[in-house]
A = this chain, B = another copy of it.
Amino acid sequence: MCEANAYLYKGGEQEELLMERVDRVVPQNGEIYLENIFGQRKMIAAKIKELNLVDHRIILEMIAAEETV
């Protein structure tokens, strides 16, 4: 299976695991909807920083205040 883990980038080397084995990722209204293969769902007030699919990694980051136009 080719799902990936979703992490929240926290600067430097730090990141927080948000959800394991994510299948669907949908940006919606400035947030990110995540759904994994177990049917778990989350909305995260973040944006996509980077995907590394071969490494099974989805990296999100918080939206900086100055970017919310």
Interface residues of A (CB under 8 A from B): 1-4, 22-27, 37, 47-54, 56, 58, 69
Copies of this chain, how many?
Answer: 2
Asked if B50 and A26 make an inter-chain contact with CB atoms under 8 angstroms apart, the answer reads yes
Assuming A2-B2, A48-B48, is B37 touching A54 (CB within 8 A)? yes
Given contacts A2-B2, A24-B50, A26-B50, 15 further A-B contacts (CB under 8 A): A2-B54, A2-B56, A3-B53, A3-B54, A22-B53, A23-B52, A23-B53, A24-B51, A25-B53, A27-B47, A27-B48, A27-B49, A37-B54, A51-B51, A69-B69
Q: Which residues of B contact A37 (CB under 8 A)?
A: 54
Q: How far is the CB of A22 from chain B (nearest CB, A)?
A: 7
